[in-house]
Amino acid sequence: MSKRRLGLIIYFTFLLLPLYWMFVMSLQTTESILGGFSLWPRDITLANYTKIFTDQSWYSGYINSIIYVSMNTVISLLAALPAAYAFSRYSFIGDKHMFFWLLTNRMAPPAVFLLPFFQLYSTFGLIDTHIAVAIAHCLFNVPLAVWILEGFMSGIPREIDETAYLDGYSFPRFFLTVFIPLIRAGIGVTAFFCFMFSWVELLLARTLTTTSAKPIAAIMTRTQSAAGLDWGLLAAAGILTIVPGALVVYFVRNYMTKGFALGRV
Amino acid sequence: MNKIQNNKAWLLVIPVFVIVAFSAIIPLMTVVNYSVQDIFGPGQRVFIGTEWFKEVLLDERLHDALWRQLLFSALVLLIEIPLGILIALALPTRGWSVSLFLIILALPLLIPWNVIGFIWIVFARPDIGLAGKTINDLLSIDYNFTSNAFDAWITVLIMDVWHWTPLVVLLCYAGLRAIPDAYYQAASIDGASKWAVFRYIQLPKMREVLTIAVLLRFMDSFLIYAEPFVLTGGGPGNSTTFLSQFLTKMAIGQFDLGPAAAFSLIYFLIVLLFSWLFYTAITHISQ
Amino acid sequence: MARIDLQKIAHAYRPHPSKPADYALKPMDHVWEDGGAYALLGPSGCGKSTLLNVISGLLRPSEGRVLFDRRDVTDLPTKERNIAQVFQFPVIYDTMTVFENLAFPLRNRGFGREQVSARVNEVAEMLELTPVLHKRAQNLTADAKQTISLGRGLVRSDVTAILFDEPLTVIDPHLKWLLRRKLKQIHEQYKLTLVYVTHDQNEALTFADKVVVMNDGEVLQLGTPQELFERPAHTFIGHFIGSPGMNFLACELDGAHAVTSGERIALLPGLAERARQRGGRMEIGVRPEFLRLRNEAGDGTLAVKIASVRDLGNFKIVGVRLGEHLLNVKVAEDQDLPAEQAHLGFTAEMTRLYANGVLVG
């Protein structure tokens, strides 16, 4: 028992230390970071955070990211819910191939695909819009959402569907008022994964945007290329990239514990 | 479960098909197109068949990058999967601490990948990093990931373990929570040892989530790009240049679109092949 | 095989229980005789599963001792108690064959290859599992899986008792009686101590020699099916067992009679006197089976109005109104009934009296 506890303490210390260190840096000026080593912050200052919250080129990055990530999560769920239902309840021509093809979309190396992506989205005049990034991220999020939701739906007995149809429910009414509430927890978990993978993706998001939809992660790389890194400012920006995700986890945490207990994911 | 045969189910799949196909098919066709042509400039291109494929397949540097990549992905799986299972087994099953643990576990997963690289720069640098400083000063080990190839390798690997083990933990924890209590009670009545409980109850019941975990970790580690790019820039030398970065150098650095496209397709096929192998192997074991 | 003694057992899931409601299992003494087939009957949440887990050792009771053949096993883990248990949902080891499933408890205890194989084959033969012995257990039907769970208990020849926690919940109705018959056979052949938890009275009454009725964390009565039927110790049991349940009429006592809605009902001699000594709220209870319905008034009959008639095939259940009370009467299928006015006859031997819900006699 104590060995287990010791193991957990070591592991979670290992998880938290790098984050703690970035937090310490975010509270210091770059001079004091480079000036000397200390385990806890000296000369605490909120100047880095103040700059991010007042400089439009910084805070707009967060807003852009949040906009396209939210759009992506909604689109992924809306598209994946009916498809996952189809995969979990019916067999149809090409179902296995379709499922595997969906999954292969996670496997393409991004580097070379960036250029055709850029060309494609330019053709439709979508460059530098939030919707462009949201749709591009569907490439890897929709298959994942279908995969996870299918697992949850398979756990719901089909008798429930049949009973509802016998009671005279139409498919849309059954799906919205009976089925979706049953897999709430699964939707919570899926939303978490969609949010997460869209929020952390950099290459596609950077390629498809120039200024008005540029994500925060890309803004950070731009600052990085300037001579002499502003460590404190970057650390503060980094800490702030964790905040929206942490909020999402906080809100879906009950779904996560429950969802994790019910479905196979 | 016996599914009903119904081709109308396609209607439900169409939205997914349209959205994914929009982003998947045209770029893929374009890449295939690049891979069989030599492009001199706008409008000037020559069909050259499989020449780029031959060139790429014989490239020594690519072989090096491929072996590095295979070693890296193998190590990632060998460390993260068992570690993830162990942590998931050790986590408490009820009480207020469950939420706290889950939230902390999710944190590294929610950080943009280039920021992960940045975190590890400031964490591992020998002059200002907590870990770098500690290793050098307290343990008196000469450690510097920017100049020593071995140190760079270890740092990238530990960074990946830090970043992605939580995903394995969360998935395994989900699988474990789905096991009804009666199984544990039956096992204790049958006099099963802890090991037997793990081998005959927990592991089989985690099969589904482990399939997802192994596949996701394999794909994403095999395609790793942003984190080592920010942390080491692929160096020192080429010691941490993995396939994606090699590909990016080729495509963007040298404007060799043809070979880069051919390489992309080969790369894609390798990932596909391994994913299929893992999938078949895991399903086969359970039959 | 063994006799199981529960001495002053009580259990609360929360620490420091102070009032009776904190207990999932209220303090009790109980003996399970060696070789008995017991049913533990009660509605969901009455504490019967808790009691079962206390016996099997999955739960350590907060108070009291558990004795197997007078040996104190309260602190022994499940593994060392030689108990077998069959759960509500079939528990099988998915990756193993039927043979390996049955061999698992023996292998864990270090039995040799030959012993294991001999014993497993014997049990498989008995449970009619021989044809599927080398198939993967995962692909079998629910009843076969449940049989395997039972088999894992039977392979251990030293097993003290087999506990069943609503084992037929997921079994198809037409297979239930087959499994139940198999259980009975095994019980007769091996004289095992069996404890069978269920909320289904039919299952309990057909399976067991002795039925233990629980409600609200308490054992209300231990008796043969006949005793439970004829002399329910508590109004709860009267309601719970029987279909429809016992009729209860609030009453007052007047001499040797009970008076309800202004009508006098004869009681056995001395009964009213004993009830008066106990005091409290009085009710008479009588089973629908022990009431007679007549067209003509007779000696000691009461005038009633017929409110409803349900024809259930072999018999009819007639709802009759006596003052403000509504009673069920079971009559033969071919009995002719008057349109409205009828006369109800009580038998003093089968009319029970309850004080504050507890049987007086």
In a structure prediction context, what are the per-residue pLDDT tens digits for chain C, which is 361 residues long? 578 888 888 888 877 777 777 788 888 888 888 888 888 888 887 888 888 888 888 888 888 888 888 888 888 888 788 888 888 888 889 888 999 999 998 888 888 888 899 989 988 888 888 888 888 888 888 888 888 888 888 888 778 888 888 888 777 777 788 888 888 888 888 788 888 888 888 888 888 888 988 888 888 888 888 888 889 988 988 888 888 889 998 888 888 888 888 888 888 888 888 888 888 888 989 999 888 888 888 877 888 888 888 888 888 889 988 888 888 999 888 888 887 888 888 888 888 989 888 888 7
Instruction: Look at chain A and count its residues.
Output: 265
For chain B, first and last CA: distance in Å?
16
Beta sheet of C263-266, edge-to-edge order:
C252-254, C257-260, C263-266
Is a pLDDT exceeding 50 seen at residue A225? no
Contacts of C165 (CB under 8 A, 6+ apart): C49, C52, C85, C86, C87, C88, C197
**Interchain contact B50–C (C-beta under 8 A):** no
Residue C300 is predicted with a pLDDT of 77
Residue A224 is predicted with a pLDDT of 53
**Interchain contact A40–B (C-beta under 8 A):** no
Residues of chain B neighbouring C91 (CB-CB closer than 8 A): 180, 182-183, 185-186
Q: What string of DSSP letters covers A235-250?
A: HHHHHHHHHHHHHHHH
Both structure tokens of A258: 């429950």
Q: How far is B196 from chain A (nearest CA, A)?
A: 18
Numbered residues of chain C with Cβ closer than 8 Å to any chain B Cβ: 53, 56, 58, 77-79, 83-85, 87-89, 91, 93-96, 104-105, 108-109, 149, 152-153
Contacts of C112 (CB under 8 A, 6+ apart): none
Note the CATH architecture for domain C4-239: 3-Layer(aba) Sandwich (3.40)
For A204, the closest chain B residue by CA position comes to: B23
User: What's the average model confidence in pLDDT over A194-217?
Assistant: 85
Q: Which amino acid is at B282?
A: I
CATH of the domain at B260: 1.10.3720.10
Is a pLDDT exceeding 90 seen at residue B79? yes
Is a pLDDT exceeding 70 seen at residue A227? no
- Does the domain spanning C243-359 belong to CATH 3.40.50.1000? no
pLDDT classification of B258: cutoffs 50, 70, 90: confident
Q: What is the DSSP letter of B143?
A: -
**Interchain contact B133–C (C-beta under 8 A):** no
Both structure tokens of B228: 């080592």
Residues of chain C neighbouring B191 (CB-CB closer than 8 A): 79, 105, 108-109
Are residues B204 and C85, on separate chains, in Cβ contact within 8 Å? no
| Closest by CA position to B115, among listed B74, B163, B55 | B163
Residue C57 CA to its chain's centroid (Å): 21
Are residues A117 and B123, on separate chains, in Cβ contact within 8 Å? no
Are residues B192 and C104, on separate chains, in Cβ contact within 8 Å? yes
Is a pLDDT exceeding 60 seen at residue A174? yes
User: What's the average model confidence in pLDDT over B32-50?
Assistant: 73
C4-239 and C243-359: same fold?
Answer: no
Helix (H) or strand (E) run with residue B169 in it: helix B149-177
Phi, psi of C273 (to 5 degrees): -60, -45
Option in C78, C85, C95 nearest B200 (CB):
C95
For chains C and B, having 3+ Cβ pairs within 8 Å is answered yes
Residue B6 is predicted with a pLDDT of 80
Residues of chain B neighbouring A254 (CB-CB closer than 8 A): 99
For B177, the closest chain A residue by CA position comes to: A261
d(Cα B113, Cα B228) in Å, to the nearest integer? Answer: 10
Q: How far is B45 from chain A (nearest CA, A)?
A: 16
| Closest by CA position to A139, among listed A198, A213, A207, A65 | A198
By the 8 A CB rule, do B107 and A15 touch?
yes
Are residues C104 and B190, on separate chains, in Cβ contact within 8 Å? yes
Q: Where are the domains of chain C?
A: 4-239, 243-359
Phi, psi of A139 (to 5 degrees): -55, -45
Residue A54 has a CB neighbour count (10 Å cut-off) of 9
- Does the domain spanning A56-262 belong to CATH 3.30.110.40? no
Residue B65's domain spans which residues?
61-286
Q: Which residue has the higher pLDDT, B214 or B95?
A: B214
Residues 63-122 of B with CB under 8 A from A: 86-87, 90-91, 98-99, 101-115, 118-120, 122
**Interchain contact B192–C (C-beta under 8 A):** yes
Which range scores top for mean pLDDT: A61-75, A235-249, C72-86?
A61-75
pLDDT digit string, tens, across residues A83-141: 999 988 888 888 878 887 888 887 777 777 787 888 888 888 888 889 989 998 998 89
Residues of chain A neighbouring B251 (CB-CB closer than 8 A): 111-112, 115
Q: What is the DSSP letter of C136?
A: B
Option in A14, A22, A104 nearest B162 (CB):
A14
Instruction: Look at chain B and count its residues.
Output: 287
Task: List chains touching A (3+ CB pairs under 8 A).
Answer: B
Residue B237 has a CB neighbour count (10 Å cut-off) of 9
Q: Could you tell me if residue B33 is inside a domain? A: no
Q: Could you tell me if residue B168 is inside a domain? A: yes
Place of tokens 């009957």: C41
Residue C38 has a CB neighbour count (10 Å cut-off) of 24
d(Cα C52, Cα C39) in Å, to the nearest integer? Answer: 11
By the 8 A CB rule, do C137 and C120 touch?
no
For C153, the closest chain B residue by CA position comes to: B190
Could you give the count of Cα atoms lying within 13 Å of A182 in the half-sphere of its Cβ? 18
Residue B231 is predicted with a pLDDT of 80
d(Cα C108, Cα C92) in Å, to the nearest integer? Answer: 15
Is a pLDDT exceeding 60 seen at residue B118? yes
Residues of chain A neighbouring B91 (CB-CB closer than 8 A): 8
Are residues B128 and A34, on separate chains, in Cβ contact within 8 Å? yes
Which range scores top for mean pLDDT: A45-49, A141-145, B260-264?
A141-145
User: What's the average model confidence in pLDDT over B80-105?
Assistant: 88
By the 8 A CB rule, do B212 and B171 touch?
yes
Could you give the count of Cα atoms lying within 13 Å of C251 in the half-sphere of its Cβ? 30
Residue B85 is predicted with a pLDDT of 95
d(Cα A3, Cα A15) in Å, to the nearest integer? Answer: 18
Q: How far is C208 from chain B (nearest CA, A)?
A: 24
Q: How far is A225 from chain B (nearest CA, A)?
A: 11
For A206, the closest chain B residue by CA position comes to: B114
pLDDT digit string, tens, across residues B162-210: 999 999 998 888 888 878 888 988 898 888 889 999 999 999 888 878 8
Q: Is C283 left (phi over 0), alpha (psi -120 to 50) or beta?
A: beta
Both structure tokens of C344: 């109800």
Residue C138 has a CB neighbour count (10 Å cut-off) of 16
Q: A191 to each of A72, A81, A185, B175, B216, how far by Cα in Å?
A: 10, 11, 10, 19, 17
Work out how many domains chain B is built from and give that number: 1
Is a pLDDT exceeding 50 seen at residue A265? no
Q: B53 to each of A48, B33, B274, C190, how far by Cα in Å?
A: 49, 13, 20, 75
Q: A41 to each of A24, A25, B124, C105, how far by Cα in Å?
A: 5, 7, 17, 59
Are residues B186 and C94, on separate chains, in Cβ contact within 8 Å? no
d(Cα A254, Cα C121) in Å, to the nearest integer? Answer: 48
Option in A14, A89, A245 nearest B110 (CB):
A245
Residue A232 has a CB neighbour count (10 Å cut-off) of 23
Q: Which residue has the higher pLDDT, A260 or B216?
A: B216
Contacts of C221 (CB under 8 A, 6+ apart): C211, C212, C213, C227, C228, C232, C233, C234, C237
Q: Which amino acid is at B160?
A: D
Are residues A98 and B208, on separate chains, in Cβ contact within 8 Å? no
Residues of chain B neighbouring C79 (CB-CB closer than 8 A): 188-189, 191
Residues 172-231 of A with CB under 8 A from B: 189, 192, 196, 199-203, 215-217, 220-221, 224, 231
Environment class of C175 (CB within 10 Å of its CB; exposed 0-12, middle 13-18, buried 19+): middle
**Where would I find the H helices in C191-221?**
201-207
User: What's the average model confidence in pLDDT over A38-56?
Assistant: 82
For chains C and A, having 3+ Cβ pairs within 8 Å is answered no
Is a pLDDT exceeding 90 seen at residue A74? yes
Q: How far is A36 from chain B (nearest CA, A)?
A: 8
Contacts of C328 (CB under 8 A, 6+ apart): C244, C247, C288, C317, C318, C319
Q: Where are the domains of chain A?
A: 1-45, 56-262
**Where would I find the H helices in B36-148?**
51-57, 60-90, 97-106, 113-124, 130-133
Task: List chains touching C (3+ CB pairs under 8 A).
Answer: B
The neighbouring-strand residues paired with C257 are C254, C266
Q: What is the DSSP letter of C254?
A: E
Both structure tokens of B41: 């400039």
Residue A78 is predicted with a pLDDT of 93
Q: What string of DSSP letters covers B206-230?
A: THHHHHHHHHHHHHHHHT--HHHHH
- Catalogue the long-range contacts made by B34-40 (C-beta closer than 8 Å, 24 or more residues apart): B34/A112, B34/B257, B34/B258, B34/B260, B34/B261, B35/B258, B35/B261, B35/B262, B35/B264, B35/B265, B36/B262, B37/B258, B38/B258, B39/B257, B39/B258
Residues of chain A neighbouring B26 (CB-CB closer than 8 A): 116, 120
For chain C, first and last CA: distance in Å?
36
**Interchain contact B157–A (C-beta under 8 A):** no
Q: How far is B190 from chain A (nearest CA, A)?
A: 22
Helices A2-26 + B113-124 axis angle, to 10 = 90
Option in C89, C96, C105 nearest B180 (CB):
C89
By the 8 A CB rule, do A73 and A195 touch?
yes
d(Cα A236, Cα A62) in Å, to the nearest integer? Answer: 13
**Interchain contact B198–C (C-beta under 8 A):** no
| Closest by CA position to A241, among listed A69, A31, A114 | A69
Are residues B87 and A11, on separate chains, in Cβ contact within 8 Å? yes
pLDDT classification of A171: cutoffs 50, 70, 90: confident
Residue B49 has a CB neighbour count (10 Å cut-off) of 10
| Closest by CA position to A76, among listed A249, A198, A169 | A198
**Interchain contact A10–B (C-beta under 8 A):** no
By the 8 A CB rule, do C156 and C79 touch?
no
Place of tokens 């349940």: C245
User: What's the average model confidence in pLDDT over B21-31?
Assistant: 83
Place of tokens 């950099």: A202
- State whether residue B61 is helix, strand or coil: helix
d(Cα C142, Cα C123) in Å, to the nearest integer? Answer: 19
Residue C358 is predicted with a pLDDT of 87
Q: How far is A46 from chain B (nearest CA, A)?
A: 19
Residue B76 is predicted with a pLDDT of 94
